[in-house]
Amino acid sequence: MSQGSPPKTDSGSDAATAPPRLEMRHIIKNFGGVQALRDVSIVAPGGEVHSICGENGAGKSTLMKVLAGAIVDYDGEILLNGQTVRFSGPRDAEDAGIRIIYQELNLVPQLTVADNIFLGRERTRGGPLGWLDERGMEARTRELFDRLGTPIPPRARVGDLRIGDQQMVEIAKALAYDAAIVIMDEPTSALSESEVTRLFRVIHDLRKSGTTVLYISHKMNEVFTLSDRVTVLRDGQFVASAPRAEITPDQVVRWMVGREIAALNYQPHPIQQKAVLEVENLSLQAPPGSGRPNLQDITFTARAGEVVGVAGLLGAGRTELLEAIYGATPTTPRGTIRLEGQPVRFHHPDEAIRAGVAMVTEDRKALGLFSQMTVAENITLRRLPELTFGPVPLVNPRAERTAVDWSIKELSIKTAGGGAPITSLSGGNQQKCIIARWLLVEPKLLLLDEPTRGIDIGAKSEIYALIRRLAGQGRAILMTSSELPELLAVADRIIVLCEGRITAEIPRAEATEESIMHAATRFLDKVGAAS
Ligand SMILES: Nc1ncnc2c1ncn2[C@@H]1O[C@H](COP(=O)(O)OP(=O)(O)OP(=O)(O)O)[C@@H](O)[C@H]1O
Ligand SMILES: [Mg+2]
């Protein structure tokens, strides 16, 4: 694609009078043979929201890690207010007023919420050698969550929080200090709509008070709601940068992918009479104090060939429903679950897997990825028994390679190869590896919890097509998503949860964003009261 001459990266005429808040010049970063950034330059004045867009693996997170001092061995120059800086580590960047919300959350699960927020910067009373000011830190933590409109208890252990709440803690941590530059790398991937609304309000306030916000998201509506300026990277290179008012989402997507993206088209295929999954009067009591929703009297069926969408607000019980079927809940659900007509009760996911059920979890870091392993090992993890020579538990390298090559190609996983460490992949590409793992199991029933979280627009439509194809082969698929257009594009039928109960079951012909939202808020009288 040609985009004419790329717009200049300087930010306008006043650049001559006062130096911009931030300038990154000719940044180059290689990871071994992978050129993550090949000469990227950006400029951002104060008081602006500047979005950085690009496909999975484009180099967005790497650029932000360079700025935040998390990557120190790069070529190029960073200037703050016209002064060259070179950070020796994250702490150094923080001292210079740069704060980052990491895409892959960077919290200590064993510590409390307040301890995480003040980690390394604990407040003391009675001078620097005084005792820890626990009360002060808790009060400040509460204040931060008030600002974000989220009542997360400061003393809760971070590891016990749901992924969406952990994301809120990561956000609060970045806001705990006044910063000149706040970097947000996919901050909303696990947030509910009302949480997103409140975060956006905080971003507006930051902007008004002169903070520069660098914002990364795959969601075009967020980018276009928030940004003053949009910069696009592709394959580690600067593609274009323009004021939001001068561009359209379509233009940005074209810059990102360098081609046109096919619209989401629902592909119908026959649904068989055979019920793969029947759930009857399923109830689940969450452990007391866990803050997780209960499930009440859930009844529905998923047939062979059918994609059933599970909609609902955050906390409605979507994940719990999938986990209850998969045997992954801390308490045992009541009610009946039948798989191809046989009553089943899984006490552990291993039992579910043996019976032909697979689940892609939303919280990939905690439950999905093995960060010490390679890409190939992460993909074939669940298939190892079949990839052996007879009774000898040796991995058959050829079969493994075929499976891995198929996955990399089918899901367009951007990696140096199967032997690369999984941690060397960008966030979205790691997610694709987990999806690949479960596809190789060839399950009868596939449970997908937010499968496209963090995945770019181009790869999303590939994954939708793949989901439809898998269903077309006679599987039943249960899928949650907080993005309604996604459910509308993929699901044959949508069940809607509100506070752990099914409030509607909508055939695709009748499903609209309005009908789903209406059912999703059935029992809530305070929805919309966020404003
Ligand atoms: N620690 C690392 N070691 C090796 N390669 C890496 C490492 N971190 C990133 N890369 C590679 O650098 C490239 C850019 O990755 P980066 O994480 O910046 O992408 P991204 O634009 O943030 O993508 P996403 O939208 O998926 O988060 C990718 O090809 C990735 O595989
Ligand atoms: Mg990233």
Beta pairing, strands 493-498 & 307-311? parallel
- What is the reported pLDDT for 506? 95
Atom of ligand 1 nearest to the CA of 59: 18
**Cα-to-centroid distance, 138 and ligand 1 (Å):** 36
What fold does the segment set 1-97+179-259 form as a domain? Rossmann fold (3.40.50)
State the architecture of 274-356+443-525 in CATH terms: 3-Layer(aba) Sandwich (3.40)
- Report the separation in Å between the CA atom of 103 and the middle of ligand 1, taken as the mean of its atom positions: 11
The helix or strand, by DSSP H or E, that contains position 14, with its residue range, turns out to be none
513: confidence class by pLDDT, cuts 50, 70, 90:
confident
pLDDT tens column, 305-348: 999 999 988 778 999 999 999 999 888 899 999 999 999 999 99
Ordered strands of the 476-480 beta sheet: 357-360, 445-449, 476-480, 307-311, 493-498, 501-507
Interatomic CA distance for residues 337 and 282, integer angstroms: 8
Q: For residue 34, report the distance from its CA to the centre of ligand 1, in Å.
A: 9
Ligand 1 nearest-atom number relative to CA 426: 17
CA dist., res. 182 & res. 98, Å (int): 6
Across 361-374, average pLDDT: 73
Angle at 75 between CA 72 and CA 76, to 5 degrees: 110
Give the tens place of pLDDT for each residue, 52-85: 999 888 999 999 999 999 999 999 999 999 999 9
Q: Which two tokens stand for residue 336?
A: 């009946």
pTM for the whole structure: 0.75
Does 56 sit in the ligand 1 pocket, CB within 6 Å?
Answer: yes
Q: Which ligand is nearest to the CA of 30?
A: 1
Given pLDDT bands bounded at 50, 70 and 90, which one contains residue 8? very low
More confident residue, 509 or 190: 509
pLDDT, position 363: 66
For 261-283, what is the mean pLDDT?
82
What is the number of the ligand closest to the CA of 35?
A: 1
d(CA 411, CA 380): 15
Q: Is the CB of 53 under 6 A from ligand 1?
A: no
- 90 in ligand 1 pocket by Cβ < 6 Å? no
Q: Which of residues 409 and 193 earns the better pLDDT score?
A: 409
Rounded mean pLDDT, 387-393: 45
In angstroms, the CA 30 to CA 165 distance is 34
Cβ 453 under 6 angstroms from ligand 1: no
Residue nearest to atom 25 of ligand 1 (CA): 56
Distance 496 CA to ligand 1 centre (A): 36
3-state secondary structure 384-432: HHHHEECCEEEECHHHHHHHHHHHHHHCCCCCCCCCCEHHHCCHHHHHH
Q: Reply yes or no on whether the pLDDT at 154 is more than 70.
A: yes
Mean pLDDT, range 495-516, rounded to an integer: 92
| Calpha distance 135→26 (Å, rounded) | 46
Domains 1-97+179-259 and 274-356+443-525 are alike in CATH topology:
yes
Structure confidence at residue 128 (pLDDT):
59
Per-residue confidence at 17, pLDDT binned at 50, 70, 90?
Answer: confident
71 lines ligand 1 (CB under 6 A): no
Residue of minimum CA distance from atom 24 in ligand 1: 56
**How far is CA 432 from each of CA 136, 373, 411, rounded to the nearest angstrom?**
43, 15, 7
- pLDDT of res. 257: 80
Pocket residue to mutate for ligand 1, from 232, 235, 425, most atoms within 8 A of Cβ? 425
Closest CA to 312 of 463, 504, 469, 169: 504
The DSSP-derived string for 337-375 is EEETTEEE--SSHHHHHHTTEEEE-S-IIIII--TTSBH
**Confidence at 12, pLDDT banded by 50, 70, 90:** very low
> What's the full length of the chain, in residues?
531
Residue pLDDT, tens place only, 90-114:
999 999 999 999 888 888 989 999 9
Over residues 426-444, mean pLDDT = 85
Residue 273 is predicted with a pLDDT of 84
**Residue boundaries of the structural domains of the chain:** 1-97+179-259, 99-178, 274-356+443-525, 366-442
Determine what percent of the chain is predicted with pLDDT higher than 70: 88
Ligand nearest to the CA of 57: 1
CA 414 / ligand 2 centre spacing (Å): 12
